[in-house]
Amino acid sequence: MVNILVTGGAGFIGSHVVDILIERGHNVKVLDDLSGGFIENVNQKAEFIKGSILDKALVEQTVQGIDIIYHLAAYAAEGLSHNVRKFNYTNNLIGSINLINAAIKNKIKRFVFTSSIAVYGTSHGNPPFKEEDLKLPEDPYGIAKYAVELDLESAYKKFGLEFTILRPYNVYGERQFIGDPYRNVFGIFMNRIMQSKKPKIFGDGNQKRAFTYIGDVAPAIVNAGFSEEAKNEIINIGGGKVYTVNEIAEEILLSMSSNLTKEYMPPRYEVKHAWCDNSKATKMLGYEDKTSLKEGVSKMALWAKSKGHMNPIIWEGYELDSNLPEFWQNLNKEYPESGFRIRIGD
Ligand X SMILES: NC(=O)c1ccc[n+]([C@@H]2O[C@H](COP(=O)([O-])OP(=O)(O)OC[C@H]3O[C@@H](n4cnc5c(N)ncnc54)[C@H](O)[C@@H]3O)[C@@H](O)[C@H]2O)c1
Contact between 77 and ligand X by CB under 6 A: the answer reads no
**Bridge partner residues of 339 (DSSP):** 313
**Which residue in 52, 62, 83, 191 binds ligand X (CB under 6 A)?**
52
Q: Which is nearer to ligand X, 242 or 260 (CB)?
A: 242
Stretch that binds ligand X, among 26-34, 289-297, 306-314, 330-338 (CB under 6 A): 26-34
Residue span binding ligand X (CB under 6 A) among the ranges 47-55, 125-133, 268-276, 315-323: 47-55
The residues near 338 (Cβ < 8 Å, ≥ 6 apart) are 311, 312, 313, 314, 331, 332
Cα 274 → chain centroid: 15
**CB distance 164 to 112 below 8 Å:** yes
99 binds ligand X (CB under 6 A): no
Question: Does residue 116 bind ligand X (CB under 6 A)?
Answer: yes
User: What is the smallest separation between the CB atom of 325 and ligand X, expressed in angstroms?
Assistant: 19
CB atoms within 10 A of CB 282: 16
The span from the CA of 5 to the CA of 17, in Å, is 11
Only segment of 98-106, 121-129, 170-178, 308-316 that touches ligand X (CB under 6 A): 170-178
Q: How far apart are CA 195 and CA 210, in angstroms?
A: 27
Looking at the Cβ atoms of 258 and 276, the one nearer to ligand X is 276
Cβ-based nearer residue to ligand X, 55 or 250: 55
Gap between the Cα atoms of 186 and 159, Å rounded: 41
By annotation, the residues acting in catalysis are: 141
Nearer to ligand X, 18 or 258 (CB): 18
127 in contact with ligand X (CB under 6 A):
no
Asked whether 6 and 18 are in contact (CB, 8 A), the reply is yes
Over the range 120-156, which residues count as b (16 or more CB within 10 Å of their CB) and which as e? bbeeeeebbbebebebebbbbbbbbbbbbbebbeebb
Rounded least distance, CB 91 to ligand X, Å: 5
Residue 115 has a CB neighbour count (10 Å cut-off) of 26
The stretch among 6-14, 146-154, 289-297, 325-333 that binds ligand X (CB under 6 A) is: 6-14
**What's the min distance (Å) between Cβ of 137 and ligand X?**
12
| Positions that interact with ligand X (CB under 6 A) | 7-8, 10-14, 31-37, 52-54, 72-76, 91, 95, 114, 116, 168-171, 177
